[in-house]
Chains A and B, each alone.
Chain A
Amino acid sequence: MEKQFFDRQEMEERMPDYIFGRLSKEEMEKFENSLLNFPDLVQEIEDVRKVFSKLEKANIDKFVEKRTRNIPVKVNERLKQRRSPLNILARPGFVTLVAGLGIILIAISIFFPIARKFDVNPTQVVKKADTLDNNPLIFPQLDELANLANEQQLDLNILPEIVSAIPLEQDNSYEPAVDFLDELVSEQIVDFIVNEKSVGFTPPYFDLFKNLDKIDENNFQKLIEELKDVQI
């Protein structure tokens, strides 16, 4: 069964609509009947009514109308401006387009010099490496080194100096290959030594390697001490 009176919360929720005449007839009657239970609300309704009676809604509309009367014209003008082919900057998407193109140009201007500097084209690197593998004479200095070692019974102590003295191809555009060439040169020198291409040249440490298990602890420690001072 429906309640005969509104409670406090229901009264407060309906009070503004009651004051502004927006309650249905049934609700208004129930509201007025319930008012007897809330004398404080009667006073409040009176105060609110007094204030809002001074505020004619029509006056507020007039006040706002005065402030907005030029808006249709201004909007129209701005729309015309935007539609004008000369006003390309105002077109939607134009700024985005320009910004996008700018980013692409900046990316290109940064990327290409770097790419050129490192020249990371894998095809070129493989081709160069193939050439080196198939044509060891590309380093004539190695032959010279071999001859020198043959003739002079090369002392291993000066080997690092000789290696560092070998002039590598001066080609700045091929910097990534420098490491590769270094490695290749080292491999070929070691290969040359290990395979004893150098006649009569037997590096002394080879015997040492073969006989490491026969060295006693003291000698081994001495050997390590000596190796500490070796500069490669």
Chain B
Amino acid sequence: MLNLAINLQTDKEIIEEFTKGNVEQAANEFVKRYKNFVYLIAFRYVKDYDDAEDITQEVFIDALQKLKFFRQESSLKTWLYRITVNKCKNFLRRRKLVTLVRFGFPNDDEEKGLDFPDNSQNGGVEKKELEEKFLEVVASLPEKQREVFSLRYFDNLTFAQISNLLGTSIGGLKANYFHAVRKIAFAMKQYLED
């Protein structure tokens, strides 16, 4: 009961609490704080809500098992981002392999991932929520554009932080950001007009 009163505000406090042995409380705070961040990254990569949830759980289980070895040379967010991207890439590799074994080589359309409903044919019956559609449009962008947009728009990271995560120059990131915004606006405008 006393543990519930502890208010862990910074990453450092979470790690300290975890190292002290107050595992459950620290873990809970850690997951609560970063679950949306991890989930959105996972969704952007795997383009499936359920798979994204599974991956999010896996990421936290992995991270919590390694948390006491975390050296704090980078922020927890950066560390989690890397774990999540690695997990997603492994997941996609496995999924591609399974698809290959079961159905042969996927065609280009399947590789693009998301399958948006064609509202013009379905008369808008399967019209999705605006937010869901927006997330899907973001997820369908090329990887660099998608990541820089998401990290800047959703997670409010600076270009320097994003550059550190993605290993791209700040100039390149800004160009990618601009193209991402332009593409999203175009796709969403079409969706809204339909």
Binding site for B on A (CB under 8 A): 9, 12-17, 19-20, 44, 47-48, 50-52, 54-55, 57, 59-65, 67-68, 71-72, 74-76, 78-79, 82, 92
Q: Smallest Cβ distance from A70 to chain B, in angstroms? A: 8
B84-102 CB contacts (< 8 Å) to partner A: none
**B40 lies within 8 A of chain A by Cβ:** yes
Segment of B8-16, B69-77, B117-125, B176-184 in the binding face: B176-184
Residues of B within 8 A of A74 (CB): 57
Instruction: Provide the B27-45 mask, 1 if CB < 8 A to any CB of A, else 0.
Output: 1100110011001100000
Would B57 and A19 count as touching, CB distance under 8 A?
no
Would B184 and A75 count as touching, CB distance under 8 A?
no
* A-B CB proximity, top 3 nearest: A13-B174, A63-B131, A48-B185
Q: Smallest Cβ distance from A59 to chain B, in angstroms? A: 5
Q: Smallest Cβ distance from B46 to chain A, in angstroms? A: 13
Interface of B is mostly: helix
Q: How far is the CA of A64 from the CA of B49 in the complex (A)?
A: 10
Would A60 and B135 count as touching, CB distance under 8 A?
yes
Would A75 and B185 count as touching, CB distance under 8 A?
no
Residues of A within 8 A of B154 (CB): 57, 60
Would A48 and B181 count as touching, CB distance under 8 A?
yes
User: What are 16 A-B residue pairs whose CB atoms fall within 8 Å in the complex?
Assistant: A12-B175, A13-B171, A13-B177, A13-B178, A51-B185, A51-B188, A51-B192, A55-B130, A63-B135, A64-B135, A67-B53, A68-B35, A68-B39, A68-B56, A71-B35, A75-B31
Q: How far is the CA of A60 from the CA of B134 in the complex (A)?
A: 9
- What 8 new A-B contacts, CB under 8 Å, besides A51-B184, A68-B36, A79-B27? A17-B177, A55-B131, A60-B134, A63-B129, A64-B36, A68-B53, A71-B53, A76-B24
Interface of A is mostly: helix
Q: How far is the CA of A92 from the CA of B62 in the complex (A)?
A: 10
**B114 lies within 8 A of chain A by Cβ:** no
Would A20 and B153 count as touching, CB distance under 8 A?
yes
Would B131 and A72 count as touching, CB distance under 8 A?
no
Would A72 and B65 count as touching, CB distance under 8 A?
no
Would B178 and A75 count as touching, CB distance under 8 A?
no
Would B35 and A78 count as touching, CB distance under 8 A?
no
Q: How far is the CA of A60 from the CA of B137 in the complex (A)?
A: 13
CB nearest to B134 among chain A residues: A55
> Provided the pairs A71-B53, A75-B61 are in contact, do residues A12 and B35 lie with their beta carbons within 8 angstroms?
no
Would B178 and A15 count as touching, CB distance under 8 A?
yes
Q: How far is the CA of A78 from the CA of B60 in the complex (A)?
A: 10
**B109 lies within 8 A of chain A by Cβ:** no
Residues of A within 8 A of B192 (CB): 51, 54
> Provided the pairs A60-B154, A63-B132, A71-B53 are in contact, do residues A13 and B185 lie with their beta carbons within 8 angstroms?
no
**B20 lies within 8 A of chain A by Cβ:** no
CB nearest to A74 among chain B residues: B57
Q: How far is the CA of A38 from the CA of B82 in the complex (A)?
A: 39
Would A76 and B27 count as touching, CB distance under 8 A?
yes
CB nearest to A70 among chain B residues: B53
Residues of A within 8 A of B64 (CB): 75, 79
Q: How far is the CA of A16 from the CA of B147 in the complex (A)?
A: 15
B130-154 CB contacts (< 8 Å) to partner A: 130-132, 134-135, 152-154
Residues of B within 8 A of A67 (CB): 39, 49, 53
Question: B40, B131, B134, B152 — which one has the most chain A CB atoms within 10 A of its CB?
Answer: B131
CB nearest to B178 among chain A residues: A12
Would B39 and A75 count as touching, CB distance under 8 A?
no
Would B189 and A47 count as touching, CB distance under 8 A?
yes
Q: Smallest Cβ distance from A222 to chain B, in angstroms? A: 73
Would A54 and B56 count as touching, CB distance under 8 A?
no
